[in-house]
Amino acid sequence: MGAHGRRAVWCPAPVARMLLFAVVALLLGTPGAQAVEGTGPLRFRADYAAYRKAVNSSDSYVEFYFELKRVDFRFHPFDSLYQAEVHAWVHVSDTSGAPVDSVGGAFRSVASDSSALSDSNFIVFFARALILPPGSYNARLVVTDMVSKASSEALLPLSIQDFSRPALHMSDIEFGYDIISQPPDTGATLGDVLVKNRYKVYPDCRGVLGGDRPRLFFYTEVYNLAFDPSRDNSYDIAVSVAPPDSVAGKVLKVQKLTKAGTSAVLASGVDVRELPAGPYSLRIDVTDPATGQTARAKKGFHVVTQGMGDSLSASDVQRMRDIFAYIITPEQSQTFERLNNTGRKAFWVQFWKDRDPSTGTTENEFKDEHMRRMNYANERFSIGYQNRTDGWRTDMGRVYIVYGPPNTIERYPFTPEGSPAEMWFYDNLTGQGQVYFLFIDESGYGEYNMVHSTARGERRDPKWEAQVNQGTFDRNK
C-alpha cells in the first residue's frame, strides 16, 4: 500500500464496487493542461492521478475523477423525490489499441425539489480506479444517462510512472476545489473513494483560478523517504509556480516537515491572487536531507483576470451574505446592504484583509479557517443528503462555524424512550472556560436542534439545565 489506505476500492465487498460521489455547486470552465472534456449532450470533465499501489510493487493505483453537470441528467419522479440514473465506464487500452482493463458502474442522483434541477452550476463529482503497471495508455471515458440514453465520451492519454525504483518519488498532483480533513475511519469514509489518507478531495478538473477563487488546493504523495526513529527525521518541501516554459519559479511556500514513516502526504493550498492572468505550472519539490535526494511533481493550471468582474449576480451577493452571516456585526451588515456592487466587492476584500493575522504572507489564516468550517458544516450537517449546501444554516453548523470543533462529543442514540441527542463540550472557550451545547433530534429526521447551552449569549433552558446537572435528561420532555 502507498502513503494511505484505499480499502474501499480494493476490497471485493459490494460497497467497493459502487460509484461513490459527492456534490457541490460549482461552475465548469476551461480544463487544466491534463484534463479532457467530454463530447456529447452530457457535459463533463475528467482527469486522473497515479499513486503507488504498495511498497515493493511496480503497479500504480490510478484514480479517474469526473465533474459532470447535473442539469444535463434526465430526472423522473421516484418515491416523492426526483431521481436520475447515470452510468460511467473507463476503458483502458495500450498505445496499439489493445484492451488492457476497464471499470464502471451506475450511480443515482436524487433531488427533493424539481425547481433545483434547473441549476446549471450544480456539479456532481465521482471517481473510479484501476491498478495499472507503468507505461503509456489511452483511457476512453463514457458517461451515459440511463433514462434518456444520452451519452458523451472523452479520450484521456495516460502516462504512468514507475514507483518501484529505489529513489525518492512523488505521485501525480490532484487539484481540488477544496480539501477537508476527515475524522478517523468510519463506515462513511471507508466507502468514499474521494477520501485519501483522511483527506476528502473534491477534484478540480479545470485548474482555473482567479476572481473569488484565489486559492489552489493540491494533493500529492511522497515515497521512499529515509526514516530512522533515532535520528532527525525532517524533510523539506518548496511549492512554487512558473510559466509553463520557464526554468525559474516564484516560491510561494517553504516548509520543514517531520517524517512519520517512509511515505508522506502533502495536502494543502497556496494563494495565487498576486499572479497575473495566464498559464502556470505548480511545482512541488521535496528534499530528503538524510539521502540528499530530491523529487518534483508538477501540474498545469490557469489564472484568469483577478477580481469578481464588473457585476455581481443576485446569487453572488447572497453567497456573500451567507459566508458573512455569523462573523459580521449588525452595523457592518447594514453598511454592506447600502453599497452598490462595486462597493460590495471592495467591502468583501477589506473585510478579510482586516482579519488577516499575518499580513506579511500570501495566506489569510482567518479566512481559510472560516471557509473550512463552512465547508465542513455543509458536508457534515446538511439535512438533504444530496444537495449538501445548507449545513451552515443548522444549529450544529452554526455552533461549529462560530466556536470550531468541540473537544469532546457525547452521543445518545435513539431509544424507545427518547430521541437521539448529542452534547458538545468545549474545554476552554475564551473568557468562559468549559461550556457545552445540547442538541436533540426531536423530529427523528436527523436535524439536531440546540435546546440548551452554558455558553454566554446562547439559549439557556432551565428545564434542560436541571436534567443535565442531575447527570441524566429525559429526551422526550
Angle at 419 between CA 413 and CA 425, to 5 degrees: 60
Average pLDDT over residues 408-432: 85
286: nearest Cα among 351, 382, 222: 222
Residue 443 in grid coordinates:
423530529
Residue 380 in grid coordinates:
457534515
Q: For cell 500529492, name the residue.
A: 220
Helix (H, G, I), strand (E, B) or coil at 249: coil
**Cα distance between residue 189 and residue 200, in whole Å:** 9
**Cα distance between residue 119 and residue 313, in whole Å:** 14
Any residues with CB less than 8 A from the CB of 30 and at least 6 apart, and which? 206, 208, 302
Average pLDDT over residues 403-411: 91
Q: How far apart are the first and last CA of the chain?
A: 51
**Cα distance between residue 425 and residue 437, in whole Å:** 7
Q: How remote is the C-alpha of 384 from its chain's centroid?
A: 18
Residue 444 in grid coordinates:
427523528
Q: Say whether pLDDT at 189 is over 70.
A: no
Residue-wise DSSP of 256-270: EEE-SSS-EEEEEEE
Question: What pTM was estimated for this model as a whole?
Answer: 0.64
Q: What is the pLDDT of residue 13?
A: 22
**φ/ψ (deg, to 5) at 271:** -90, 130
Helix (H, G, I), strand (E, B) or coil at 436: strand
Residue 266 in grid coordinates:
502533502
pLDDT digits (tens, 9 = 90+) for 50-102: 999 988 888 999 999 998 888 889 988 888 788 889 999 999 999 999 999 99
Q: What is the pLDDT of residue 190?
A: 63
Residues 131, 62: contact at Cβ < 8 Å?
Answer: yes
363: nearest Cα among 253, 205, 243: 253
Measured over the CA atoms of residue 192, residue 258, residue 375 and residue 427, the dihedral's sign is positive
Q: For cell 457535459, name the residue.
A: 43
Alpha carbon of 67 to those of 31, 125, 350: distances in Å? 11, 5, 33
Q: Could you tell me which residue, 143 or 5, shows the higher pLDDT?
A: 143
**Cα distance between residue 156 and residue 130, in whole Å:** 14
Topology, domain 7-303: Immunoglobulin-like (2.60.40)
Domain map of the chain by residue range? 7-303, 314-393, 406-469
Any residues with CB less than 8 A from the CB of 357 and at least 6 apart, and which? 365, 366
Average pLDDT over residues 382-405: 79
Q: Could you tell me which residue, 320 or 212, shows the higher pLDDT?
A: 320
Helix (H, G, I), strand (E, B) or coil at 334: helix
Residue 322 in grid coordinates:
451567507
